[in-house]
C-alpha cells in the first residue's frame, strides 16, 4: 500500500477519489492501493465531514504553518489542493502574493523534508495565467529545486466522467531518483460528456426553501441588460462550475441554477445532494453540519471521479518502485 498524506484536505474530495472503492453514475471506481495516514485542514467543520467518511487515525485541525514537518508521518504520496482564492479568475483584482497565495511554500517545505515519491498539487485555472504564467513557473521551480520532475496540465472534470465543466490545474512531481515520468490520463468522456441529469433527478421538488422568490426573479428581469443572468442549466449537458457559495447563489450572478417552469418563471438552486453529485461524490458520502456547511465543503472540494483517474495514473507510475 502507498501511504498518503493529505494537506488542505477539506471534506475529502481528493481523498475519496484517491482511495476509490465507490460507485458514481452506476459505475464502480475500483479501490486503489493507497492508505491515508494523515489528513490536515484548518476548517473544523470540513474535518468533521472527513472523519465521517474515512478511516484515518491521524486527522488534524490546524494551520499548516503551525505544523512542524516532524509531526507528519513518512509517506509515499503527498496530496494538496492549496488554497486558491488569490488565484481566482472570478476576482482578478485579488493580490496574488498574499498569505494564502504563499501557502504552496508550506507544501514545498513538507516535500523537501519528507521526500515522498510523488506529490499531487491542485489549483484553479487562474493559477496558470496570473502574471502571465510567472506564478505557476515560480511554484514549479520551487518543487523542482526540492528534487522533483514536475509535470502540469489543465484538466476539465467534464472530460473524466464528472457532470460539470470544472477546469483545474494539476502539478504532479515525481522524485528525481525514481527516474519515472508521469503521464496524465487521457480523457474518458470527450465525445459524450456526463449530463447534469445524473445529478438532478427531478426538477420540481417539494422543499420551497430551494426556490427563488418572485422578487428575486423580478430583480433579475429588471437588472441592467449586462447583468441579466439567470444561468439555468440544460440537464442534457454538464453543469457550469459550482462554487463554495452555493447557499447564497443569486439569479444576478454567474451561479448555475435550475429553471423548473419557464411559464411560471420558477427557478431554484441545487440541493446539497444534487451539488454533491455534480462534484461526483457518491450518494454514500455523508456531510456533517448544516446545509450551508455542506454547500461550502462541496464547492471547495476536488471532484472525486476526476481525482480517481489521476490517482490511478500515479499508481501506474509507481509500479515496481
Look-up of cell digits 476526476: 306
Residue 242: other Cβ atoms inside 10 A: 23
Q: Annotated catalytic, 239? A: no
CB 269 within 8 A of CB 299: no
Q: Distances from the Cα of 152 to the Cαs of 122, 156, 311, in angstroms?
A: 10, 13, 14
Residue 186: other Cβ atoms inside 10 A: 10
Query: Distance between CA 21 and CA 30 in Å, rounded?
Result: 5
Query: Distance between CA 122 and CA 307 in Å, rounded?
Result: 10
CB 294 within 8 A of CB 313: no
Cell digits for 163? 457532470
Look-up of cell digits 427563488: 212
Handedness of CA 234, 195, 292, 309 (dihedral sign): negative
How large is the angle between the packed helices 44-53 and 291-300, nearest 10 degrees? 80
**Could you please report the per-residue DSSP string of 26-58?**
TEEE---SEEEEEEEES-HHHHHHHHHH---S-
DSSP conformational letter for 239: B
* Residue-level length of the chain: 321
Catalytic residue among 11, 56, 84, 239: 84
User: What are the start-end ranges of the E strands in 157-285?
Assistant: 167-175, 258-261, 266-268
Cell digits for 15? 481523498
CB 60 within 8 A of CB 67: yes
Active site residues: 84
Amino acid at each position: 500500500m502507498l501511504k498518503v498524506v493529505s494537506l488542505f484536505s477539506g471534506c475529502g474530495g481528493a481523498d475519496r477519489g484517491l482511495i476509490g472503492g465507490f460507485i458514481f453514475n452506476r459505475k464502480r471506481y475500483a479501490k486503489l492501493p493507497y492508505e491515508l495516514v494523515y489528513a490536515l485542514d484548518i476548517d473544523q467543520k470540513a474535518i468533521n465531514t472527513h472523519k465521517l467518511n474515512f478511516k484515518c487515525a491521524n486527522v488534524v485541525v490546524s494551520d499548516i504553518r503551525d505544523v512542524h514537518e516532524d509531526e507528519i508521518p513518512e509517506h509515499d504520496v503527498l496530496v494538496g489542493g492549496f488554497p486558491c482564492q488569490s488565484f481566482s479568475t472570478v476576482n482578478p483584482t485579488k493580490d496574488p502574493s498574499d498569505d494564502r497565495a504563499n501557502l504552496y511554500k508550506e507544501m514545498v517545505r513538507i516535500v523537501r523534508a519528507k521526500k515522498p515519491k510523488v506529490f499531487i498539487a491542485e489549483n484553479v485555472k487562474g493559477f496558470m495565467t496570473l502574471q502571465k504564467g510567472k506564478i505557476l513557473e515560480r511554484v514549479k521551480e520551487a518543487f523542482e529545486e526540492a528534487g522533483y520532475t514536475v509535470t502540469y496540465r489543465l484538466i476539465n472534470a467534464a472530460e473524466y466522467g464528472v457532470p460539470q465543466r470544472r477546469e483545474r490545474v494539476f502539478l504532479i512531481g515525481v522524485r528525481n531518483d525514481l527516474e519515472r515520468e508521469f503521464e496524465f490520463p487521457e480523457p474518458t468522456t470527450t465525445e459524450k460528456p456526463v449530463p447534469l441529469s445524473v445529478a438532478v433527478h427531478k426538477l420540481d421538488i417539494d422543499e420551497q426553501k430551494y426556490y427563488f422568490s418572485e422578487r428575486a426573479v423580478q430583480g433579475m428581469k429588471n437588472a441592467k441588460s449586462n447583468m441579466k443572468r439567470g444561468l439555468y442549466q440544460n440537464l442534457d449537458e454538464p453543469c457550469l462550475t459550482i462554487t463554495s457559495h452555493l447557499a447564497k447563489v443569486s439569479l444576478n450572478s454567474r451561479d448555475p441554477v435550475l429553471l423548473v417552469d419557464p411559464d411560471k418563471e420558477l427557478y431554484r438552486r441545487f440541493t446539497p445532494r444534487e451539488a454533491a453529485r455534480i462534484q461526483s461524490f457518491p450518494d454514500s458520502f455523508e456531510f456533517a453540519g448544516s446545509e450551508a456547511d455542506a454547500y461550502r465543503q462541496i464547492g471547495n472540494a476536488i471532484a472525486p471521479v476526476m481525482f480517481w483517474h489521476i490517482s490511478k495514473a500515479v499508481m501506474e507510475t509507481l509500479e515496481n518502485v
